[in-house]
Structure 1
Amino acid sequence: MNDSKDVLFSEYNLNGIKLKNRIVMAPMTRSFSPKGVPADYAPSYYAKRAAGGVGLIITEGVEVSHRAASGYLDVPNLESDESKMMWEKVVSAVHKNGSPIFCQLWHVGGIRKLGMPPFPDVPGFTPSGCIKPGKKVAYEMTESDIEELIEIYASDAKICEELGFDGVEIHGAHGYLIDQFFWDAINTRTDQFGGSLENRARFASSIIQETQQRTSAEFQVGIRISQWKQQDYEAKITSDRDELNLFLNILKNAGADFLHCSNRRFWEGEFSENGLNLAGIAKKTTGLPSISVGSVGVDKDFIKLYAGDHQTKTTDLNKLHQKLNNAEFDLIAVGRALLSDPEWANKVQNGQEKDIIPFDKSFVENYV
């Protein structure tokens, strides 16, 4: 093995869960789950990435069992017996190929539009009725609604443990429901869930705390966070390092087992061009295991995909090796590169980068 790859392909102990390397399959919405039931091909899809060398699998976003959770068609959930059976098959297939698997629990919040099945009359749920600053277009949650959702997240996490998952990742990023609470530009509440940073993080911290109480000590409960939002790529939860440190420690003190920190480009510093990225700051501040992510192995970020510029080239991993070798973060999540080539990790480890299948939009539209 090339010395520069030693850390990337070294084992990692994630709070007692042994990972064969530092590579994580990033959660990616596939929309191949009619009526919330994962497709028959789902076990093979995930197992191929485990067999292809990925150390940890995080599932696509799985809707929590709430009437307003869905914002996109054909996204999986945990509600029916058929869905649970398919997830058991996914877990078994991944475990047989030597990787643990976490389920990402997701609620879209105000991104939901009226007309979404199976409850077309249910609006998007938000902290203050807004999905963008100054525009009230959705339902403002009551404290009773918030308490109901805290219970639902914890209950669904317990279901995940019963199905054999090794942990859950709570989706608190990218402008979806939990992130809408974090974001002071649209969370204008004046109760215990709005105002100060501690209050805006209370919904997330309560979910983490309740989930930890419902699940075993071995079961991992982490959260995915981002500064940027799909509503505003320049938005930030915090604008300086001290405030960010406070925010990260709130999540740690709530009981988060790991922090998955989403950047659009993993090599960019959070507050300076050459500084630590969000995952790097999270690790340094909290000491928790941190996962970085953002355009690994591809030459364009995902925004260009949605703008129609979807043909990418495979890029070298020199910056990634440098950051891992400097212990800036612990794990790296890979997204699009694994959609196009399930063997990406093995090919990188074996020096076969020239054989990696480059990503393009066709790999989003089809299961591989």
Structure 2
Amino acid sequence: MTEHHPALFEPLSIRSLELPNRIVMSAMTRSASPGGVPGPDVAAYYRRRAAGGTGLIITEGVAVEHPAAVDNPRVPRMYGDDALAGWRTVVDEVHAAGGRIVPQLWHVGPLWGAMSAVDPAITPMRPSGRWGSAGTTSYPDDYIARASRPTRPMTEDDMDEIVAAYVRAAVHAAELGFDGIALHGGHGYLLDAFLWHDTNTREDRWGGDALARSRFPARVVAAIRAAVGTELPLFFRFSQHKQQDYTARIAETPEELQVLLGALADAGVDVFDASIRRFDLPAFDGSDLTLAGWAKKLTGAHAMAVGSVGLGKPLRDSRIEGAAAVVDNIGEVERRIDAGEFDLIAIGRLHLADPALATTLRTGAPLTPFSRAVHEGRLY
């Protein structure tokens, strides 16, 4: 059998993680875990992707144990005996199918209340009490009006509690047999809110220039690394854009990005998951290097690209305009991996359409179109 896209099927080692190929299932919120407990259907959902040949699965965002971590009761959590038992089944099923799986630990920070109604007695965790300046966004006006009201800034006690929550979740994940740890540090969520100057206007050691803004996320990374040891790889999702404003940026220059990501790499990040609406967009003027490419070049760490792989429009656009047509940009993915620009490619929506996506790519079969009407809101 002819193997298509051979660069995508080169193995890769990252600490103790041995990957058979460069294809990753990107984290995607599924809201299919009532009460925060992943059930047999969740285990079967992830197992199908492992059986289909995907090299690494990154789970949907998983709540850490903090009152304002995640506001959707159907998002899974990484605490409580019932949820941990559910995750053990997920890990066992994925491993039985020959796969590897990493949980994405999540605290929504300023975006508390965006997914569902929340207890007004719970204060959202915001570095400076700011939701962020609303710009190009898909959030409705009524939510923006509510969320834009300032809250109290985070205290040192808040930060200590949240670091401890991340560490507990990471230790639970390691004990359950997950193959690494991923952190969601993009899209305007908590860790990203420290990196973004618009939501971090603090005047203490946690705010100011790029190095100061990186201190809290780096503290979380370092604490997890100390707790889980040196074997498990740590992934860190970052982005320029925010849910509050798709045109926002944490770094205007490569030099500023180097300061932010360098601090995280020094703290223990092994793989930077560079989230962008289209994986192949140049990150800065004067170069065609992508955001993932810059992350690898500036830090020396591994990098993973994500964004509209195999599709003709980004997720936000497809929400407004309808389903995205299949576009064969896999050759461009392969070219950039083969050139060493980035190491891994994370694919979201096509993994929802086709659990055997890796096999489809290996055999050169036609890509299965993603249909929001068919796939959103249920597991397949």
- Class of the TM-score when normalised by the shorter of the 2 chains: over 0.9
Q: Which residue of 2 aligns with 1:367?
A: 379
In structure 1, C-alpha distance between the alignment counterparts of 2:228 and 2:263, rounded to whole Å = 20
Q: Which residue of 2 aligns with 1:39?
A: 39
Which residues of 2 match residues 217-366 of structure 1 at below 5 A?
217-272=230-285, 275-352=288-365, 354=366, 356-361=367-372, 362-366=374-378
Which residues of 2 match residues 4-83 of structure 1 at below 5 A?
5-83=5-83
Give the letter for the 2:283 counterpart: E
Give the letter for the 2:220 counterpart: I
Deviations 1:50-86 (A, max 9, x none): 1111001100000110000013341000222111111
TM-score, scaled to structure 2: 0.92
Paired residue secondary structure (2:40): coil
Residue 149 of structure 1 deviates from its aligned partner by 0.6
Change (3 A) 1:114 1:333: closer
In structure 2, C-alpha distance between the alignment counterparts of 1:287 and 1:241, rounded to whole Å = 14
Residue 289 of structure 1 deviates from its aligned partner by 1.2
Contact 1:125 1:140 (C-alpha < 8 Å) held by counterparts: yes
Higher strand share goes to which structure? 1
In structure 2, C-alpha distance between the alignment counterparts of 1:247 and 1:306, rounded to whole Å = 31
- Which blocks of at least 5 consecutive residues in structure 1 are unaligned? none
Contact 1:4 1:321 (C-alpha < 8 Å) held by counterparts: no
Residue 204 of structure 1 deviates from its aligned partner by 0.5
Write out the 4+ residue segments of structure 1 that deviate beyond 4 Å after TM superposition: 1-4, 114-120
Give the letter for the 2:249 counterpart: K
- Which blocks of at least 5 consecutive residues in structure 2 are unaligned? 135-147
Question: Which deviates more, 266-275 or 240-249?
Answer: 266-275
Q: Which residue of 2 aligns with 1:151?
A: 164
Contact 2:71 2:115 (C-alpha < 8 Å) held by counterparts: no
Give the letter for the 1:200 counterpart: R
Residue 348 of structure 1 deviates from its aligned partner by 1.0
In structure 2, C-alpha distance between the alignment counterparts of 1:296 and 1:20, rounded to whole Å = 20
Contact 1:114 1:124 (C-alpha < 8 Å) held by counterparts: no
Deviations 1:95-140 (A, max 9, x none): 1122211110000011112996785521321001111239443342
RMSD: 1.9
Contact 2:56 2:100 (C-alpha < 8 Å) held by counterparts: yes
Contact 1:61 1:75 (C-alpha < 8 Å) held by counterparts: yes
In structure 2, C-alpha distance between the alignment counterparts of 1:245 and 1:155, rounded to whole Å = 29
Q: Which residue of 1 aligns with 2:215?
A: 202
Contact 2:206 2:216 (C-alpha < 8 Å) held by counterparts: yes
- Kindly indicate whether residue 129 of structure 2 is the aligned counterpart of residue 129 of structure 1: yes
Residue 272 of structure 1 deviates from its aligned partner by 3.4
- Kindly indicate whether residue 93 of structure 2 is the aligned counterpart of residue 109 of structure 1: no
Q: Which residue of 1 aligns with 2:87?
A: 87
Give the letter for the 1:349 counterpart: R
Residue 287 of structure 1 deviates from its aligned partner by 1.4
In structure 2, C-alpha distance between the alignment counterparts of 1:342 and 1:359, rounded to whole Å = 12
Q: How many residue pairs get matched?
A: 366
Contact 1:78 1:156 (C-alpha < 8 Å) held by counterparts: yes
Residue 316 of structure 1 deviates from its aligned partner by 3.9
Q: Which residue of 2 aligns with 1:180?
A: 193
Deviations 1:168-211 (A, max 9, x none): 11110011111111110121111111112111111110001110
Q: Percent identity?
A: 39
Q: Which has the higher contact order (CA 8 A, sep 6+)?
A: 2
Deviations 1:26-62 (A, max 9, x none): 0000001111111320111001111111001100000
Residue 331 of structure 1 deviates from its aligned partner by 0.4
Contact 2:127 2:153 (C-alpha < 8 Å) held by counterparts: yes
Paired residue secondary structure (1:132): coil
Residue 274 of structure 1 deviates from its aligned partner by 5.5
Contact 1:113 1:123 (C-alpha < 8 Å) held by counterparts: no
TM-score, scaled to structure 1: 0.95
